[in-house]
Amino acid sequence: MVALTAFSTPIAFSLGARLGSRQLTSPVSTAVGLGGRRAVLRARLFWSAPALLLPAAVTMGLPRLFTTIYRALVGSRVLNEPVVGPTPPRPGADAEDVEDAAGAAATAAAAAGALRGDILALHTRFLSDDGTSVDYEGLRASDAFASYVERTRTLGALSPALLTERQRLVLFINIYNMLTIHALCVTGAPSTSLGRLVWTTRMSYRVGDHVYGLSDIENGVLRGNAPFYVFAPPFGPNDPRREVALPEAQPLIHMALNCGATSCPPVRYFEEDNVEDALEAAAASFLNDDANCAVDVGGRTVWLSAIFSWYATDFGDGTDVGVLGWVRDRLPEASKKRAALDELLTSAGGPVAIKIIKYDWSLNT
């Protein structure tokens, strides 16, 4: 099912009012004889655009306006079918309602756990042992994948706002990685930077009453509704998905999310009971790989994955020193790489340069 999602903004109201008004005049009003009514509509829209966008930009701010227009144009492609979920408790709920909410949270957690068997079956059969490659061809044609796709429909029965922060963290990391695999099986991999941007916006699951794209999950839920690149935070002031977002960015998720590229961290399945330790282990493994982190003591240079450039503000205080300190703390205490990084950070040989390793966007097959 393909769904276009657009938030209500002053643009929509003004646009409808302007195009429906006979009072709007412009130098191109004579276009009827040249191109008909469609030409008039396009011309009126062109001449009206500044008047429509300027008030919205003042009210919303340019990043929010740009994000709203972009999301309305791109829309969402929902890969699972919606299922009606439990109703959240009302504000000011009485004791009986609170018990119902607790039961709904338990039901939601159980429903999320029901996907576990299907996901692990796919991991066992179609992922390499280290999680770095996926057999998409075999996966797409398998009965196990068909079973998984059917199971994803149950995500509509969840109420993620009723889950604990830890449960939401685990749920949405696993959903992100499996939605990526699901989408790649359906659409194939995008081949350009713009294509990847649009793809991560459009590819979506319905979870509870709302639709979450890959970008919504990463930047909205797991990064605490943080802005990315030129975009405003995914969830606007009146977006009900804000209550699902974690309170702040979780930097370790960047060592756990796999977007299908060769340079991404391996695909793993995370469990609630040991998620913190598992994320720390994933970070240590990722950084121990010289393809993601390399230290040149003589050249006073540290080479890092592009992830640390794109999301620098999530690591430490976002400065070079803060990022390097975060990386250093994730490396095993006995590792030679940590010792080399300690030497660079504590010696008086001059500043330490950070250079970014080129990201390999080829499909992880």
Domain locations in the chain as residue ranges? 2-61, 77-86+95-249, 286-357
Burial class (CB in 10 A: 0-12, 13-18, 19+), 350: exposed
Q: What does the angle CA 306 – CA 309 – CA 311 come to, to the nearest 5 degrees?
A: 105
pLDDT at 64: 83
Alpha carbons 236 and 254: distance in angstroms, whole number: 23
Alpha carbons 257 and 237: distance in angstroms, whole number: 26
| CA neighbor of 177 nearest in space, from 117, 138, 113, 123 | 123
Distance of CA 92 to the CA centre of its chain: 32
pLDDT higher at 278 or 48: 278
- Kindly list the strands in the beta sheet with 203-207, ordered across the sheet, starting from the edge strand earlier in the chain: 2-3, 76-78, 203-207, 210-213
pLDDT confidence band for 298 (50 / 70 / 90)? very high
- Whether the full predicted model's pTM is greater than 0.95, yes or no, is no
pLDDT at 296: 96
Mean pLDDT of 222-236: 93
pLDDT confidence band for 51 (50 / 70 / 90)? low
* pLDDT greater than 90 at residue 288: yes
Mean pLDDT of 206-217: 96
Mean pLDDT of the chain: 83
**Least confident residue range of 6-15, 246-255, 314-323, 355-364:** 6-15
Angle, helix 275-288 to helix 165-187, in steps of 10 degrees: 50
| CA neighbor of 251 nearest in space, from 178, 184, 305 | 305
Alpha carbons 274 and 357: distance in angstroms, whole number: 31
Name the H helices within 61-94: 62-74
Q: How many CB atoms are closer than 10 A to CB 262?
A: 14
Which tens digit of pLDDT belongs to each residue from 122-158? 999 999 999 999 999 999 999 999 999 999 998 988 8
pLDDT higher at 40 or 189: 189
* pLDDT greater than 90 at residue 54: no
pLDDT higher at 263 or 88: 263
Mean pLDDT of 242-270: 97
Which tens digit of pLDDT belongs to each residue from 65-119? 888 888 889 999 999 975 454 444 433 444 444 455 566 567 666 666 778 888 9
Torsion of CA 222, 226, 232, 236, to 10 degrees: 70
Amino acid identity of residue 341, one-letter, is: L
Strand (E) or helix (H) holding 77: strand 76-78
Mean pLDDT of 327-344: 95
| CB half-sphere exposure, 117, CA atoms < 13 A | 6
Alpha carbons 113 and 265: distance in angstroms, whole number: 23
pLDDT at 42: 64
pLDDT above 90 as % of the chain: 65
| CB half-sphere exposure, 83, CA atoms < 13 A | 17
Of 56-65, 112-121, 238-247, highest mean pLDDT: 238-247
Which tens digit of pLDDT belongs to each residue from 159-195? 899 899 999 999 999 999 999 999 999 999 999 999 9
pLDDT at 101: 59
pLDDT at 95: 45
Mean pLDDT of 312-322: 94
| CA neighbor of 11 nearest in space, from 55, 58, 73 | 55
| CA neighbor of 286 nearest in space, from 305, 261, 271, 270 | 305
pLDDT at 61: 72
pLDDT confidence band for 357 (50 / 70 / 90)? very high
pLDDT at 347: 87
pLDDT higher at 28 or 217: 217
Alpha carbons 237 and 234: distance in angstroms, whole number: 10
Amino acid identity of residue 300, one-letter, is: R
pLDDT higher at 236 or 29: 236
Mean pLDDT of 244-260: 97
